[in-house]
Amino acid sequence: MKKLKVITILGTRPEVIKLAPVVQELKKFPTRIQSKVVLTGQHREMVDQFLKIFSLKPDYDLQIMMPNQTLLDVAERCTARLSKVLVKEKPDMIIVEGDTTTAFIAALCAFYLKIPVAHVEAGLRTYDKLRPFPEEVNRQLISVVADLHFAPTSFARNNLIREGIKKQDIFLTGNTVIDALYSVAGKPYKIADPKLKKIDFKNRKVILVTAHRRESFGNPFENICKAIRQIAEFKDVEIIYPVHLNPNVQDPVRRMLQGRDNIHLLAPVDYATFVFLLKNCYFVLSDSGGVQEETPAFKKPLLVMREVTERQEGIKAGVAKLVGMDSNRIVRAAKQLISSPKAYRSMQKAKNPYGDGKAANRIVQAILKRLEK
């Protein structure tokens, strides 16, 4: 039997995290699958450390990242360089994840070359094309050209069905981020960062912050920083914030938050450290997408600093609360979690709607079944 050639395409840190379990699962079938990995390099510094954690070695590194790159720059270089790889390799299928520019351009290139596309984490929607930007449009367009749609939740699956995707092409899998999270959480971890060694995780209320969304840049992001500064004034609170490298994040964070004893601004952390922080924090403040899925795995309440979210499952389950980007709303919600044990427990005890850690196996089995017909 001829081996099936499957190419997995990565570009950013979330793609590495969420596709690493799929790549590892593909390797379990060496007699049936020839697995290759392409890294576009849409992110650079942050991606390399995550590749090491998951022992991923790309077969191609397209190195598209440049200083101050625009979305058009990313799309142009990704199209030119990735299309050459696909023409050369002629895969039986490509795998993309989520809603990045890498994922969209890869799906589009494959479509032009009549290569089947498998979309991991399909069906997430806000139906507001500017929130999140550009992710909402990217993922909707990927759904138009994809052949297999791996929905992480029934909510996402129903979105795809309403949009006219054939039911036989949609697979309810759970989210691969839970697979990745469990694999890392089970490994021993020793704190290396001197700032983290000084923090009393047992006796202080440690709040983990991640904030970097493009649509927040400007006044909304300054409102987020203002809220963080006010929350730091509460008793027994420590705030840990790994700061994204984007200057639109770095500049206001340094200007508004630097120099406070209980606000710890870190460089972007590796995934093992991030998992440690999730396990040991009190609750999380975030505008991230992936963090909305990761946080409930450790029963930590999450305040989502966005106006809309495509991950409504967490809101409905009660593991997360949408608080927007108004500083007063953020502070009120944080104060409630800090001061009310009842409010805290109600979010802590809610059921995680995002999966059981077996998503990668379901994805690879569906790919094998489709390609070996």
Reported as a single tens digit per residue, the pLDDT across 266-296 is 998 888 999 999 999 999 999 988 899 999 9
Residue 236 phi/psi, 5-degree rounding, is: 65, 20
Q: How far apart are CA 193 and CA 280, in angstroms?
A: 15
pLDDT exceeds cutoff 90 at 258: yes
Detail the DSSP E strand segments found in the chain: 4-10, 33-39, 60-61, 93-97, 117-120, 148-151, 170-172, 205-210, 237-242, 263-266, 283-286, 302-304, 320-322
| Per-residue pLDDT, 245 | 85
Find all residues with CB under 8 Å of 286, minimum gap 6, and list them. Answer: 208, 209, 210, 211, 292, 295, 302, 303, 304, 305
Is the pLDDT score of 250 beyond 90?
Answer: yes
Q: Is the pLDDT of residue 45 over 80?
A: no
Q: Any idea how long the chain is? A: 373
pLDDT at 44 exceeding the cut of 90:
no
Q: What is the pLDDT of residue 105?
A: 98
**pLDDT category, 6, cuts 50, 70, 90?**
very high
Would you state the pLDDT for residue 143?
98
Say yes or no to pLDDT of 46 above 80: no
Active site residues: 99, 121, 135, 212, 214, 244
Beta bridge partners of 118: 95, 148
- Can you give the pLDDT at residue 49? 82
Q: What is the mean pLDDT of the chain?
A: 94
For residue 239, give both structure tokens: 């705030």
Quote the pLDDT of residue 43. Answer: 73
Residue 213 has pLDDT above 90, yes or no: no
DSSP output for 300-320:
--EEE-SS--S-HHHHHHTSE
Domains of the chain: 4-174+358-371 (3.40.50.2000), 194-348 (3.40.50.2000)
Give the pair of three-digit tokens for residue 224. 């987020």
